[in-house]
Amino acid sequence: MNGPAVWALVVLGLGVVVVRRRSTAVGLVTAQALVLVGVALSRARTGNDVLAAAALAVRAVAFAGLLMFLVSRTRELRPVRAKVAAPVRAGLALGFALALTWLVPISPAADHYAHQGVLALVAFGVSTVATRRATLFHVLGIVLVENGLALAALTLHGGSSLEIELGVTLDLTLLTLVASVFHQRIFAEFGAGDAGALRSLRD
Amino acid sequence: MIGALLLTGVALVGAGGLLCAARSSFRTGLSLEAAGAAAVAVAGFWALASGTSVGGTFTNHLTPRLGLDPLSGLFLGTLGLVGAPALCFARDYLRPTGKDRAVGSLTAGFLLAMVGVLCARDPATLLAGWELMTLLPAAVILVAHQEDRHARQSVFTYLAVTHLGGVGTWVAVLLLARAGAIGSPGVIHAGSGLQAVVVVAALVGLGTKAGVMPLHVWLPRAHPIAPAPVSALMSGVMIKIGIYLMVRVLVDWAGPLPVWLGILVLATGALSAVGGVTYALFEHDLKRLLAMHSIENIGIIVMGIGACVLLRNRGADGWAALALGAALLHTVNHAVFKSLLFLCAGAFERMAGRLDLDRLGGLLRRVPVVGGSFLVGSMAIAGLPPLNGFASEWLTLQALVHVPRYGRVADGLAGALALGALAATAALAAFCFVKVVGLVLLGSPRRDPPVDARQPSAGMAGAVAFLALACAALGVAPGVLLARLVGLAPWSAGLPVGMGLRLPGTGSLPSPAIAVLLIVLAGALVLLRGRGRAAAPAAPTWACGQVVSRRLEWTGAGFTKPLRLALEVVLRPQRDVVSRQEAGVLQEVGYQGQVPHLIEERVYAPTHRLAMAAATRLRRLQSGNLGTYVGYLMGVVLLLLVAARLGLV
């Protein structure tokens, strides 16, 4: 796997963990997906591979559109502040990523670079959900994890396929739609897409 | 043929349950359920009598498999014997309202779940049926008492206790399946740790369902609040399913047990028998009293199983088989007389509105058939000849007498103590039912009947009369059934069939002769009484100058006071006297007394408090913050990965 591409994916993922604005984070996730499209195209050997890359590209653009639509529908006066400061979030995410890369065993046949990249993206996605209060960032965390899984699929022998990409797209679309509906409902109820407000519902 | 009959019965019960859902076919549905139960009874007793097995054999795999053997046949027969009259009773007891229609349908499901457990031949079907059998009566009670907070709490207690205790059933069944011992005795080594774990787990799990002390707390709460036909099925059959599996595990699958396990079983039975009857004596509600007596009778049955285990350990195989036969005979007998008593209680409740013992009275004259049947049931449960309770208690007593004879110091002492416990239980039960019969059937009514009071219909009276006749038949000719029951012990060939009970090397019980003698004596007494009436006309009651009113009649508390005082140190009864004075003149004195259940106060209440305190502390983990929950997940993943890295998992 191309080292700079993996580094680009990881840096973009870390950006999602630390940035403040939702639209910036959407841009970063979309950029990440487009990098994945580039990787897919560079590794394409057959027409099916190209179609899979095209499906990945359509998914990236469609999600960018959906997420930007959500941002525009739920404009907030001030961005929801995360309880954890950006440097601490970055530290936690990096620590989790390092722990995973140390603990998860690597198959000798696997691409070392790509494997670590996948684990880092999964760690960043989970860390985003854990440390951010803005509900849209929770959706973005899930998309981040999915991008990590897409990278893992590309490193497989034979790469991804149109069927896999369509299946993943359907899966992710459903998940994102449900999460988006929740985000909108929370915004309508509490005036902000803040998961912290849900604590009042605990009892 | 047996299989076809059983399938027909099951199909009829199922179809009846579906028909019950519609208002127009409600009574037809219940009739079909009753017919199905009767078919199940015939199939079951046929399998027992012929000693044949139908369908699959036991397997340790999880593939669903159903079958029937003589032991399942006995319990299926009992289920049908009780179920058919209970459902006939329900035809007039329940009304085609939405609530009662749901009760009728759920009752069919409940019956089928019990049939499922009895016919299960693999662990998966067995455990699935077991859980359904627990959940469906809870649903019936919730449907019947939708707005009653107390009933919901009782159901919660029932579900909590039976599920916590039920873990034992799962552990025992799954360990047996893992060892390959289901249906294959001898696989588990005698005296091994596995055997001990299986038996103790089974005793906890199955004992909870059977209502064995100290795991009984759900029983006096849940049984009384169910509709009368369901109470009859719960007390008459459901708790016996626990006994069915106990016999399977303790007597068959787990192999010969060591002495200490036999003593444990015997002690549990003795505690249940004495504890159950003692607390029953001080109950004021008829259905709760009957529920406490279920604990007592389960104790007697478990004592029989304990005697069987000990006698087998000492090589007295013949007497071990007789002890098992005694336990199984009492199982059938208790099913019959307890369902009879619960159904009668249901009829009384419809007439009197409540079942407070101190508010009932004179019911024998008002409803002679139901009252007379209740009298028969009371005599049977009190162990009086010539009824069925006497036969099986006498047989259990004989088995216990032989435990010290064949045993050494520990089991001999345990047998002797159990013998004393059974004797005390029989005496206390007789005392208790003298009180019940006196307060409920005799005297005059102590409150006016409610406006919506209903006389029992012919169908209801017929159902209880049938069960009363069954009590008499099983009491007069117990030997017919016992011969087959003794043959159910895996090491026994059975006994020759006879009417009475003929035991080797000891006195036999000529029950038909006893019955004839008692009938002649009773007839003579009636004749004498008839003559006495002519000689001595009735005179007004002398009450020390007071006006004779209903308030001067016996109360349950008054009747049992001598015993309560004698057992004060153990029972620690509580009383509260409240007096009202006006201008220094005493106007009214109120008295309230109760005997708290020590096991609940000393064991369950502190455990409950500790559990709630621990839950309050643990609740701090439940922050309501999504990030925190994801953090927990991250922690768990990391811990598992570290454990994998270190080779711990």
Q: List, for residues B372-413, the tens digit of each pLDDT value.
A: 999 999 999 999 988 999 999 999 999 999 999 898 889 899
Q: Is the peptide bond before B386 cis (omega within 30 degrees of 0)?
A: yes
Pairing label, strands B67-68, B574-582: unpaired
- The maximal CA–CA distance of chain B, rounded, in angstroms, is 99
Domain that holds residue A149: 3-195
Q: Contact B44/B74 with Cβ under 8 angstroms?
A: yes
Read off the pLDDT of residues B288-297 as tens digits, 9 standing for 90 and up. 999 999 999 9
Q: Average of pLDDT values for B310-315? A: 92
Q: Which of B378, B369, B306 is nearest to B341 (CA)?
A: B378
pLDDT at B450: 66
A200 in a domain, yes or no? no
pLDDT range class, residue B492, cuts 50, 70, 90: confident
The structure tokens listed for B319 are 């007497």
Would you state the pLDDT for residue A192?
A: 77
Q: What is this structure's pTM?
A: 0.81
From chain A, the residues in CB contact with B631 under 8 A are 130
Assess if residue A103 is contained within a domain.
yes
- Any domain includes A202: no
Domain count, chain A: 1
User: Tokens 């019936």 — which residue?
Assistant: B140
What per-residue confidence (pLDDT) applies to A179? Answer: 80
Angle between helices B259-281 and B193-210 (to 10 degrees): 20
Of the listed ranges A87-96, A97-106, B545-554, B572-581, the least confidently predicted one is B545-554
Instruction: List the 612-631 stretch of B: residues with Cβ below 8 A of A.
Output: 622-627, 630-631
Mean pLDDT to the nearest integer, B270-276: 96
Pick among B616, B640, B641, B649 to test the A interface (most A CBs inside 10 A): B641
Q: Which of B625, B639, B642, B646 to mutate to test the interface with A (most CBs of A within 10 A)?
A: B625
What is the predicted pLDDT for the residue at A93? Answer: 93
Mutate to test the interface with A, among B637, B642, B645 (most CBs of A within 10 A): B637
* A32 part of a folded domain: yes
Predicted local distance difference test score (pLDDT) of residue B351:
85
**Is-contact B329 B481, C-beta < 8 A?**
yes
**Chain A: closest CA distance from residue B160 (Å):** 22
The predicted pLDDT at position B534 comes to 59
Torsions phi, psi for B447 (to 5 deg): -155, 155
B625:A196 CB<8 A:
yes
* Pairwise CB contact (< 8 Å): B627 & A131: yes
CB B642 to CB A126 under 8 A?
Answer: no
Asked if B641's CB is within 8 angstroms of A195's CB, the reply is: no
Instruction: Return the amino acid letter for B494.
Output: G
Averaged over B627-632, what is the pLDDT? Answer: 87
- Say if residue B128 is exposed, middle or buried (CB neighbours under 10 Å; 0-12, 13-18, 19+): middle
Q: Is the pLDDT of residue B533 over 80?
A: no
The answer to whether B627 contacts A126, with C-beta atoms less than 8 Å apart, is no
Q: Residue A49's pLDDT is what?
A: 82
Residue B451 predicted with pLDDT over 80? no
ipTM of the complex: 0.83
d(CA B258, nearest CA chain A) in Å: 49
What is the Cα–Cα distance from A66 to B106, expressed in whole angstroms? Answer: 49
8 Å CB contact of A133 and B642: no
- Which chain A positions have a beta carbon within 8 Å of B627's beta carbon? 83, 129-133, 195
- Contact call for residues B116 and B132 (beta carbons, < 8 A): yes
Q: Is the pLDDT of residue B366 over 90?
A: no
* Least confident window among A81-90, B119-128, B457-466: A81-90
Q: Which of A1-10, B58-67, B434-443 has the lowest mean pLDDT?
A: A1-10
Residue A116 belongs to a domain: yes
Chain A residues in contact with B624 (beta carbon < 8 A) = 198-202
User: Residue B139 pLDDT more than 90?
Assistant: yes
For Cα atoms A122, B644, B621, give the angle at the middle one, nearest 5 degrees.
Answer: 65
Q: Does residue A122 lie in a domain region?
A: yes
User: Average pLDDT in the B169-177 region?
Assistant: 95
- Of A163 and B130, the one with more pLDDT: B130
**Mean pLDDT along residues B11-36:** 94
Token pair, residue A140, equals: 């973005």
Question: What pLDDT does B579 receive?
Answer: 87
Do the Cβ atoms of A26 and A183 come closer than 8 Å? no
- pLDDT of residue B81 exceeding 90: yes
pLDDT range class, residue B20, cuts 50, 70, 90: very high
DSSP B23: S
pLDDT average, residue stretch A162-166: 77
Give pLDDT tens digits for A48-107: 888 888 888 988 888 889 888 888 888 776 777 777 888 999 999 999 999 999 998 887
Asked whether residue A203 is assigned to any structural domain, the reply reads no
The pLDDT tens digits of the residues spanning A169-179 come to: 888 888 888 88
Residue of higher predicted confidence among A1 and B504: B504
Question: Are A104 and B641 in contact (CB < 8 Å)?
Answer: yes
The average confidence (pLDDT) of chain B is: 90
Q: Is residue A121 part of a domain?
A: yes
